[in-house]
Amino acid sequence: MSEIIKTDAVVLSKLNYGDTSSIVSLYTETDGKISAIVKGGRSPKSKIGKIIDPINHLQVIIYKKNTRDVQILSDANLVAHFLNIKEDLDATKYGFAIIELVKNLTAEHEVNQKLFKGLIKILSLINDKKENPAFLFGRFLLFFLSELGYEISIDKCSICGNNLKAKENMGFDFNSGLICSDCFESHPGLEAISAELFELIFCLKTNRLAEKFNVLLMDKFNLLIERYLRFHITDFKGIQSFQIYK
């Protein structure tokens, strides 16, 4: 028996299906990630097909049946299409990186309203140009890690538990996170990070101003977190949007 769901959703991806239809991946407020078919969605006359594009925030009606993997999207209305993200290459890169992470690293039908609200908020902030999109992406990434269960502590050393203080010879353990200078010296083979990179991570995590940092430092931050995710999630292949939108 089908259940009719009316909910807000962000379009994560869209693929052609058959001659005229599309299959979309949606991150919904009430049902988590859902795959749905838009029948006739590629027809020029389709109202839904014109607004079912990645990053768009929609209000959708879905016919859901637990016995099928792909649900039926019967109607949709546009809430926001984040035009400023799509018209700026840098913003596009980070916007698509965000929805890529949500699509690839969240489980089907796993509801997380905090993550949904965070997704809408970060896309709105990037669209409104409240801050450099690279820094906004970093803030979302640390929040996203926490929601996945891989939060990085910025207060305590992940090995000894002592308070962390920015020093030149701090380190990073891909199994557990940031480590103090003493543990870095006594545990060979760990990744060294600079005091500046630690301070950037601290500012991103605590929502403090990051504009004093060179935006190029975000490349080191992103590489560090990608390697951290690869360590914990064997199927994770990195953020492909960074390669597409160079």
The pLDDT confidence band at residue 143, using thresholds 50, 70 and 90, is: very high
The four Cα atoms 123, 121, 207, 90 give a dihedral, to 10 degrees, of 0
Is the confidence at residue 169, as pLDDT, over 80? no
pLDDT of 208? 92
Average pLDDT over every residue of 32-57: 92
CA distance 134 to 128: 14
pLDDT at 244: 86
DSSP 7: E
* Predicted pLDDT of residue 46: 87
Q: What is the mean pLDDT of the chain?
A: 94
pLDDT at 66: 86
At residue 210, the pLDDT reads 92
DSSP 54: T
Q: What is the pLDDT of residue 168?
A: 72
Q: Provide the CATH number for the domain formed by 3-80 in this structure.
A: 2.40.50.140
Query: 64 pairs with which residues across the strands?
Result: 3
Residue 1 — pLDDT band, cuts 50, 70, 90? low
Please choose, from the candidates 87, 83, 20, 68, the residue with its C-alpha nearest in 3D space to the C-alpha of residue 48.
Answer: 20
Extract the tokens encoding 125.
Answer: 């902030």
- The pLDDT-based confidence of 243 (bands split at 50, 70, 90) is confident
Domain spans in the chain, listed from the N-terminal domain onward: 3-80, 87-244
What's the sign of the alpha-carbon dihedral 86, 102, 126, 198? negative
The pLDDT > 90 percentage for the chain reads 85
Can you tell me the mean pLDDT for 39-58?
91
Q: Which helix (H) or strand (E) holds 131?
A: none
Reported confidence tier of residue 18, pLDDT bands at 50, 70, 90: confident
pLDDT digits (tens, 9 = 90+) for 65-98: 988 999 999 999 999 999 999 999 999 999 999 9
Report pLDDT for 217.
96
* Whole-structure pTM value: 0.94
Predicted local distance difference test score (pLDDT) of residue 193: 93
Domain 87-244 carries which CATH code? 1.20.1440.120
Residue range 89-134, pLDDT digits in tens: 999 999 999 999 999 999 999 999 999 999 999 999 999 998 999 9
